[in-house]
Amino acid sequence: MTAAAESTVTFEGLFASSLPELAVPWQAEEAPEPGLLVLNDALAGELGLAPEYLKTPEGVRLLLGNHVPAGATPVAQAYAGHQFGGYSPLLGDGRALLLGELVDVAGRRRDIHLKGSGRTPFARAGDGRAVVGPMLREYLVSEAMHALNIPTTRALAVVATGRPVRRDTMLPGAVLARVASSHLRVGSFQYARATDNMELLRRLADHAISRHYPAAARAEHPYLELFASVVAAQAGLVARWMLVGFVHGVMNTDNMTISGETIDYGPCAFMDAFNPGAVYSSIDVGGRYAYANQPVVAEWNLARLAEAMLPLFHEDQEQAVAPAVEALGKFRSHYSDAWFNGMKAKLGIKGGPAGSKEGDEASELVDGVIALLKDGPVDYTQFFRRLGQAARGDDRPARGMVLDLAAFDAWAGRWAALKPDAGLMDSVNPVYIPRNHLVEEALAAATEGDMAPFNRFLDVVRFPFQERQGLERYTEGPPEDFGAYRTFCGT
Ligand code: AMP
Ligand code: MG
């Protein structure tokens, strides 16, 4: 049955045809016994792909890369990257394929990408596979991020392959179908730059401009404007992570997009108790990607992007550096503006322009709330939500969370005097986040074949700001015996 999908949707191979040097045509590994675990009906609709079609045997095979739709040219993408600070000249999609792009019902071009689709020429020692738990984890966390209004790749489906995959134990294999505004990464530019083919580098930059920052084409210096746009997008993105307590966990340059979307949910986690040094990834022994380091790392990664793009800024290397440094220099002000404005919204206050009396008062209140959080183990998400209750006149729930009551009272008195807007606070401070102990519980059940806890949890995180009766357990921190949470890479 060739139903709706292919009659209404045409796949393109735009990346593959525009940048063949970065695209190796490849086929997905055949899945022995496909089983659709979860499908994002709403996202399928946005893409113009009928969910009913994607549930048919042919549709499921499409989601695995085993049925290649008309117009699609599956490719493995080449990229380089700095991993934990060390440069790898060749990474690329070792276990993923870009199926192609399609123009969605709103007219936006989106990538359809398959993760776990088998070994490619970039697989090195890897088996090219992915397993059910981590793919469902990416599905859940990326959908939660989207619901939190944070730019992110989206999850269209997870399909079990029916093949056992060797990890520490044998685990069920799966493929994640991922949707992104593109899969261009900082590492794509590093790879192109390393080829010494300046025409390729330019073509890549033109492709990035036309997909993400078309206004840059009209700027006096389009490539500099492209770089400045990525700097601004990433500064805004990382500020949003910080505001919700998200730790990405593996901010290598190959995991940083040009679009400004969050990508590659591996060892990521949301903080329970506020802790600037929070690290969850088992391989991040030095804490390079700890919560509070994320802005610094983003800036470091963008410096690597600037190096890769340098020949595009000016023929003369010497003259290229100054404008690149100037553009990168804006990262800090973009980041602090986005973070400070976000914090003011979390506190329900407006503040005033920097330097004004109101501006200074807001800045002191933001510093003050961070000091309260640092002082004791305080659940980050719960605390801000309970401050919303304080804004409505009952400060007991929030007050009961901090150790230094005198400090809280002094802070809360000044804050309440500004008449914080509780409605605004509730629209930015989530009740529900993908809490680690609940993520683990849902994934453990799914790995055993029970999708019910996962599906319930997905429904919860899809509406993070709306408190609902009966969902109390999803608002609570981890049980005492949950311990220091660790996430694992190479999943
Ligand atoms: P990540 O940091 O998870 O985004 O992955 C880093 C690199 O390792 C990328 O080039 C991936 O394609 C590759 N990789 C990760 N897992 C596997 C696997 N099981 N098989 C082949 N390549 C993999
Ligand atoms: Mg990656």
Binding site per annotation, positions for ATP? 92, 94-95, 115, 127-128, 178, 185, 264
Predicted local confidence at residue 55, as pLDDT: 98
DSSP string, 175-229: EEEEEES---BHHHHHHHHHTT-HHHHHHHHHHHHHHH-GGGGGSSSHHHHHHHH
> Is 127 a pocket residue for ligand 1 (Cβ < 6 Å)?
yes
| Spacing, Cα 288 to ligand 2 middle (Å) | 17
C-alpha 91/C-alpha 183 separation (Å) is 14
| Spacing, Cα 344 to ligand 2 middle (Å) | 33
C-alpha 27/C-alpha 121 separation (Å) is 11
Q: Which ligand is nearest to the CA of 491?
A: 1
Ligand 1 nearest atom to the CA of residue 129, by list position: 19
C-alpha 463/C-alpha 351 separation (Å) is 28
> Is 264 a pocket residue for ligand 1 (Cβ < 6 Å)?
yes
Q: Which ligand is nearest to the CA of 124?
A: 1
pTM of the entire structure?
A: 0.97
Long-range contact pairs involving 310-316 (C-beta distance under 8 Å, separation at least 24) = 310/193, 311/193, 311/198, 311/201, 312/201, 312/202, 312/205, 312/223, 313/221, 313/223, 313/224, 313/227
> Is 283 a pocket residue for ligand 1 (Cβ < 6 Å)?
no
C-alpha 480/C-alpha 491 separation (Å) is 27
> Is 20 a pocket residue for ligand 1 (Cβ < 6 Å)?
no
| Spacing, Cα 249 to ligand 1 middle (Å) | 15
Strand (E) or helix (H) holding 138: helix 132-147
C-alpha 154/C-alpha 181 separation (Å) is 9
C-alpha 252/C-alpha 108 separation (Å) is 27
Binding site per annotation, positions for Mg(2+)? 255, 264
C-alpha 426/C-alpha 467 separation (Å) is 9
Going by alpha carbons, the residue nearest to atom 22 of ligand 1 is 94
Of 419, 418, 423, 376, the residue nearest 398 (C-alpha): 376
> 93, 111, 206, 254: which one is catalytic?
254
C-alpha 287/C-alpha 284 separation (Å) is 5
> Is 94 a pocket residue for ligand 1 (Cβ < 6 Å)?
yes
Ligand 1 nearest atom to the CA of residue 255, by list position: 4
Pocket test for ligand 1, best of 122, 171, 175 (most atoms within 8 A of CB): 122
| Spacing, Cα 91 to ligand 1 middle (Å) | 8
| Spacing, Cα 8 to ligand 2 middle (Å) | 31
Distance of CA 417 to the CA centre of its chain: 37
pLDDT values of the chain reduced to their tens digit, one per residue, 491 residues: 444 444 468 999 999 999 999 999 999 999 999 999 999 999 999 999 999 999 999 999 999 999 999 989 999 999 999 999 999 999 999 999 999 999 999 999 999 999 999 999 999 999 999 999 999 999 999 999 999 999 999 999 999 999 999 999 999 999 999 999 999 999 999 999 999 999 999 999 999 999 999 999 999 999 999 999 999 999 999 999 999 999 999 999 999 999 999 999 999 999 999 999 999 999 999 999 999 999 999 999 999 999 999 999 999 999 999 999 999 999 999 999 999 999 999 999 998 888 999 999 999 999 999 999 999 899 999 999 999 999 999 999 999 999 999 999 999 999 999 999 999 999 999 999 999 999 999 999 999 999 999 999 999 999 999 999 999 999 999 998 888 888 875 56
> Is 93 a pocket residue for ligand 1 (Cβ < 6 Å)?
yes
Going by alpha carbons, the residue nearest to atom 16 of ligand 1 is 490
C-alpha 441/C-alpha 462 separation (Å) is 18
At 476, is the secondary structure helix, strand, or coil? coil
Q: What is the radius of gyration, based on Cα positions, of the chain?
A: 23
| Spacing, Cα 125 to ligand 1 middle (Å) | 10
Neighbour tally for 479: CB within 10 Å: 8
Ligand 1 nearest atom to the CA of residue 83, by list position: 2
C-alpha 334/C-alpha 234 separation (Å) is 9
The three-point CA angle 394-400-406 to 5° equals 95
Q: Which ligand is nearest to the CA of 116?
A: 1
Phi, psi (degrees; rounded to nearest 5) at 259: -70, -25
> Is 266 a pocket residue for ligand 1 (Cβ < 6 Å)?
yes
Q: Is there a catalytic annotation at residue 254? A: yes
> Is 92 a pocket residue for ligand 1 (Cβ < 6 Å)?
yes
Strand (E) or helix (H) holding 322: helix 317-346
Q: Which ligand is nearest to the CA of 250?
A: 1
> Is 252 a pocket residue for ligand 1 (Cβ < 6 Å)?
yes
